[in-house]
């Protein structure tokens, strides 16, 4: 993918060039407030007349792309119509892949249909805006803080349904202050600072400890891919390779679905022998690398069941320095983790 | 009672208001979206009837409607009749005279409509007539009602322009304000009282309705 957006608004100059080897399906963008994330999306959506967009995404010219739909604070609902009126108006003038009711249910808007737009809470407003955007049959969906007012379970639930609903042809660019939103849904990540893209690449590479020398703003999080095997009293049993772990799941992802398990590196501890640690999950693997993360911390990357698991440990403990590449270790973590 | 004068006044005000709305909506829309250093000149021209003595406007209109002038001659060729001292001349005059009263509320309404609504509607593939019908007009509905109400009331209250270009022809140009003037001249004070009361009560009721509407809608723009 190649995408180049230039814009000039007063003193603020935007010159964002995104480039990836693989074609991203979902691209996440993070950056500080005022970095130009929203202006970037608005320009892609054609809301900033006179701003320049060039580039290609999946053999399509970005400046010629039709049905680029933005969901943000700058795309208000039409106040003269109620929720149902807003949705039906857009549905009538666009072709949808699914029925209106399916999209309304996906965005948890079924109970909101008869409400007036000024009666909606922040999270309800965001859900209706998302539903309206989906009814416009987007080819490129731009989400600018579109889930910020929803609680985590609702947010992850909708994100999961959205991923399942959107065909692989629909591309998504998502801006969020919450890195977890991006980690659970995106395959690529880009960092924007002062109107410029400073890094862009696959999520796994961007979250890698080696990338942290340049991007300290990113948290160190491992993303493990697994499948829900069973569910009992709010706790889901997830299989990661041949190993099973138990994780509390608020969004109740059904049995049989593939999931992403987000493990912050600071929550993982490592043992050199498989000892009996109570109430924790354990994954066995071999040490891949030990790198210095900060003055007092080292990031240990181990490979378990073919996936990378990173642990952040105190570097002044001599036992960390004694770890050898290829050595067998056991990683422990609690069941209070993010699942999506 | 001068019923024909009252009927003529209502006919004149109704027709002028209808024409004003048709002209003022596109003009106000264009003016609200137009940025140029000449904008102040155009705005001043639109607002001119607010400050100009109606007799000045009436004088120039009288010259323009004369059979030897361009407009008067054109009218004569097309309709076969002269334009000055006719009901049609009054309609023309009223439209120009009340133009700022129609444009100003609409202009305020259109400038208050945030571009985000229009951008969003366009982004969601709504055709232009749907954007106009479902997004723009509902947002400026209170402004539309106020513009129509003020245009109507102002046309009912006009005197100077009518005197200059209409004269006092019963059933053609003798509106209530002219009839009142005529009755006072003839010292018929009882009929004059009735006509004055009709104008006073009507204008008061219409303004009360407009101010009530303004309060209901919490409009930023003042009726006057």
> pLDDT tens-digit profile of B46-57?
999 999 999 999
Average pLDDT score over residue span B136-141: 88
Cβ <8 Å between B127 and A70: no
Q: Is residue B188 over pLDDT 50? A: yes
- Scanning B99-128 for CB atoms below 8 A from A yields 114, 116-117, 119-121, 123-127
For residues B152 and B179, give the distance between their C-alpha atoms in angstroms, rounded to a whole number. Answer: 19
Q: What percent of chain A has a predicted confidence (pLDDT) above 90?
A: 37
Vertex B50 angle, CA B220 and B13, to 5°? 90
Query: Can you tell me whether residue A166 is helix, strand or coil?
Result: coil
Cβ <8 Å between A76 and B117: yes
Contacts of B138 in chain A (CB under 8 A): 78-81
Q: Is residue A268 over pLDDT 60? A: yes
Q: What is the pLDDT confidence band of residue A295, given thresholds at 50, 70 and 90?
A: confident
Alpha-carbon gap: B208 to the closest alpha carbon of chain A (Å): 25
Average pLDDT score over residue span A72-96: 93
Residue B132: the pLDDT is 92
A297 — phi, psi (to 5°)?
A: -125, 145
Residue B222: the pLDDT is 43
For residues A18 and A53, give the distance between their C-alpha atoms in angstroms, rounded to a whole number. Answer: 12
Vertex A78 angle, CA A74 and A79, to 5°? 110
Distance of CA A27 to CAs A22, A50, A176, A331, Å? Answer: 11, 25, 11, 30
Looking at the DSSP assignment, which residues form a beta bridge with residue A260? A225
**Interface with A, mutate which of B120, B136, B138 (most A CBs under 10 A):** B120
Mean pLDDT, chain B, whole residue set: 90
Q: What is the pLDDT confidence band of residue A219, given thresholds at 50, 70 and 90?
A: confident
**pTM (2 decimals)?**
0.78
User: Model confidence over B9-43: pLDDT tens digits?
Assistant: 999 999 999 999 999 999 999 999 999 999 999 99
**Interface with A, mutate which of B119, B131, B137, B139 (most A CBs under 10 A):** B119
- What ipTM was estimated for this complex? 0.78
Contacts of B33 in chain A (CB under 8 A): none
Q: Is residue A5 over pLDDT 60? A: yes
Least confident of A74-78, A246-250, A301-305: A246-250
The listed range with the strongest mean pLDDT (A219-233, A270-284, B143-157) is B143-157
In sequence order, what are the residues at sequence separation of 6 or more whose Cβ sits closer than 8 angstroms to the Cβ of residue A202? A20, A22, A187, A188, A189
User: Model confidence over A69-78: pLDDT tens digits?
Assistant: 999 999 999 9
Mean pLDDT, chain A, whole residue set: 87
Query: Can you tell me whether residue B91 is helix, strand or coil?
Result: helix
Average pLDDT score over residue span B76-92: 90
B138–A contact, CB cutoff 8 A: yes
**Selecting from 2.60.40.420, 3.40.50.150, 1.10.150.80, 3.40.50.300, what CATH number does the domain A2-218 have?**
3.40.50.300
Alpha-carbon gap: B220 to the closest alpha carbon of chain A (Å): 17
Contacts of B134 in chain A (CB under 8 A): 78, 80-81, 89
Q: Is residue A212 over pLDDT 60? A: no
Residue A209: the pLDDT is 65
Query: Can you tell me whether residue A120 is helix, strand or coil?
Result: coil
User: For A222-339, CATH number?
Assistant: 2.40.50.100
In chain A, whose CA is at the least distance from the CA of B122?
A47
Q: Is residue B218 over pLDDT 60? A: no
The answer to whether the beta carbons of residues A139 and A65 sit under 8 Å apart is yes
Contacts of A132 in chain B (CB under 8 A): 124
Cβ <8 Å between B125 and A68: no
Q: Which of B114, B125, B134 minimises the CB distance to A81?
A: B134
Cβ <8 Å between B124 and A132: yes
Q: For B199, which DSSP code?
A: H
Domain boundaries, chain A: 2-218, 222-339
Q: Is residue B153 over pLDDT 90? A: yes
Average pLDDT score over residue span A171-200: 88
Cβ <8 Å between B123 and A81: no
The answer to whether the beta carbons of residues A211 and A218 sit under 8 Å apart is yes
Of residues A9 and A85, which shows the higher confidence score?
A85
Q: Which of A74, A75, A94 minimises the CB distance to B125?
A: A94
Q: For A253, which DSSP code?
A: P
In chain A, whose CA is at the least distance from the CA of B138?
A80
Distance of CA B136 to CAs B5, B24, B110, B144, B216, Å? Answer: 38, 15, 8, 11, 19
Average pLDDT score over residue span B65-92: 90
Residue A216: the pLDDT is 53
For residues A151 and A223, give the distance between their C-alpha atoms in angstroms, rounded to a whole number. Answer: 21
Cβ <8 Å between A81 and B114: no
Q: Which of B123, B127, B130 minimises the CB distance to A70?
A: B123
Contacts of B117 in chain A (CB under 8 A): 76, 78
Alpha-carbon gap: A85 to the closest alpha carbon of chain B (Å): 10
A189 — phi, psi (to 5°)?
A: -140, 140
Residue B220: the pLDDT is 45
């Amino acid at each position: 993918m190649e995408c180049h957006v230039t814009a000039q608004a007063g003193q603020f100059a935007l010159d964002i060039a995104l480039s990836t080897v693989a074609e991203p399906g979902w691209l996440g963008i993070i950056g500080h407030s005022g970095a130009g994330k929203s202006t970037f999306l608005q320009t892609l959506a054609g809301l900033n007349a006179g701003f320049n967009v060039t580039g290609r995404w999946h053999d399509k010219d970005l400046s010629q792309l039709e049905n680029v739909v933005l969901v943000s604070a700058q795309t208000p609902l039409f106040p003269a119509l109620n929720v149902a009126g807003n949705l039906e108006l857009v549905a009538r003038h666009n072709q949808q892949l699914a029925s209106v009711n399916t999209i309304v249910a996906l965005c948890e808007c079924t109970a909101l249909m008869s409400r007036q737009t000024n009666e909606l809470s922040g999270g309800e407003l965001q859900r209706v805006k998302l539903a309206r955007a989906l009814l416009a049959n987007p080819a490129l969906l731009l989400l600018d803080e579109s889930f910020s007012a929803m609680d985590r379970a609702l947010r992850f639930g909708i994100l999961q349904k959205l991923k399942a609903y959107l065909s692989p042809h629909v591309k998504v660019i998502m801006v969020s202050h919450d890195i977890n939103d991006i980690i659970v849904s995106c395959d690529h990540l880009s960092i924007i600072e002062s109107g410029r893209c400073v890094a862009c690449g696959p999520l796994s590479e961007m979250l890698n400890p080696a990338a942290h020398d340049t991007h300290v703003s990113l948290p160190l999080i491992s993303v493990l891919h697994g499948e829900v095997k069973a569910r009992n009293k709010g706790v889901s049993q997830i299989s990661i390779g041949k190993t099973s772990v138990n994780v509390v799941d608020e969004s109740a992802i059904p049995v049989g679905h593939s999931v992403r398990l987000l493990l912050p590196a600071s929550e993982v501890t490592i043992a050199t022998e498989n000892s009996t640690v109570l109430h924790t999950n354990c994954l066995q693997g071999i040490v891949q690398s030990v790198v210095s993360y900060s003055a007092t911390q080292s990031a240990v990357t181990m490979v378990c069941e073919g996936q990378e698991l990173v642990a952040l440990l105190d570097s002044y403990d001599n036992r960390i320095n004694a770890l050898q590449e290829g050595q067998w270790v056991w990683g422990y973590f609690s069941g209070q983790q993010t699942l999506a | 009672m001068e019923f024909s004068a009252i009927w003529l006044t209502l006919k004149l005000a109704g027709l002028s208001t209808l024409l004003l709305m048709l002209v003022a909506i596109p003009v106000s829309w264009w003016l609200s979206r137009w940025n140029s250093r000449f904008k102040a000149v155009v705005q001043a021209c639109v607002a001119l009837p607010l400050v100009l003595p109606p007799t000045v406007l009436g004088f120039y209109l009288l010259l323009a409607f004369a059979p030897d002038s361009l407009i008067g001659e054109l009218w004569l060729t097309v309709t076969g009749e002269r334009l000055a001292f006719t009901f049609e001349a009054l309609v023309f005059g009223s439209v120009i005279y009340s133009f700022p009263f129609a444009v100003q509320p609409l202009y305020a309404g259109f400038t208050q409509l945030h571009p985000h609504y229009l951008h969003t509607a366009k982004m969601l593939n709504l055709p232009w007539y749907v954007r106009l019908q479902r997004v723009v007009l509902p947002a400026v509905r209170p402004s539309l009602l106020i513009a129509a109400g003020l245009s109507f009331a102002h046309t009912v209250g006009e005197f100077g322009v009518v005197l200059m270009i209409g004269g006092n022809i019963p059933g053609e140009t003798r509106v209530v304000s002219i009839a009142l003037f005529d009755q006072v001249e003839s010292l018929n004070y009882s009929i004059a009282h009735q006509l004055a009361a009709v104008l006073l009560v009507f204008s008061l009721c219409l303004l009360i309705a407009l101010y009530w509407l303004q309060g209901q809608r919490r409009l930023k723009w003042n009726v006057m």
